[in-house]
């Protein structure tokens, strides 16, 4: 068990890098969608560059981080199976499943944009971009509080955060419409 903290540290490092990828990839999706509406040759130059940036982020950082994070998490659960009897851990694992689903949907969008199939608006992507943030808040509160009752307040807090994020997106959109360079 003396290596337990090393495994925990590696798990946390890959949680951070996985989320970094999940925070940035929708921003690249937004730029790609907006570039697809530009006239030639800007459209081609920008989309080619954004495809390359997205591919590198997705394949070199985000996917490996997701896999390593998950492997270290499973290892931790093997070392501490008692955690699976804790209500907070079960709720956390539910959010982890949501995170994996979010990741897989991002992968689907990534593949579509690599084929120049634009199926979403940049506004949708700005909202989608907040999904990882909400999951991160939920998981951090669950891990820190470790109380099945307190997570209910956390979920309510996440909903409030979601509403505030949506309002922030609307405010940003209004500012951007008034000043396109913002």
34-75 per-position pLDDT tens digit: 999 999 999 999 999 999 999 999 999 999 999 999 999 999
Domain around 26: 4-178
Token digits of residue 6: 């090393």
How many residues does the structure list for the chain? 182
Q: Is 92 assigned to a binding site?
A: yes
Where the chain has pLDDT below 50, the residues are: none
Q: What confidence score (pLDDT) does residue 147 get?
A: 67
Q: What confidence score (pLDDT) does residue 181 get?
A: 67
Q: How many CB atoms lie within 10 A of CB 109?
A: 23
Please state the domain count of the chain: 1
Q: Is 119 assigned to a binding site?
A: no
Q: What confidence score (pLDDT) does residue 15 get?
A: 98
SS (H, E, C) 43-108: HHHHHHHHHHHHHHHHHHHHHHHHHHHHHHHHHHHHHCHHHHHCHHHHHHHHHHHHHHHHHHHHHH
pTM for the predicted model, two decimal places? 0.84
């Amino acid at each position: 068990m003396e290596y337990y903290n090393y495994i925990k540290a590696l798990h946390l490092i890959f949680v951070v890098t996985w989320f970094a990828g999940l925070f940035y990839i929708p921003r690249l999706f937004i730029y790609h969608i907006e570039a697809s509406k530009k006239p030639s040759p800007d459209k081609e130059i920008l989309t080619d560059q954004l495809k390359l940036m997205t591919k590198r982020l997705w394949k070199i950082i985000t996917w490996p981080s997701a896999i390593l994070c998950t492997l270290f998490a499973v290892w931790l659960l093997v070392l501490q199976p008692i955690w699976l009897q804790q209500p907070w851990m079960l709720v956390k694992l539910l959010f982890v499943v949501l995170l994996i689903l979010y990741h897989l949907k991002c992968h689907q969008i990534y593949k579509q944009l690599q084929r120049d199939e634009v199926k979403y608006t940049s506004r949708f992507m700005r909202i989608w971009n907040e999904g990882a943030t909400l999951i991160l808040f939920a998981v951090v509160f669950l891990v820190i509080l470790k109380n099945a009752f307190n997570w209910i307040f956390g979920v309510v807090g996440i909903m409030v955060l979601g509403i505030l994020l949506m309002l922030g997106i609307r405010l940003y959109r209004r500012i951007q419409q008034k000043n396109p360079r913002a």
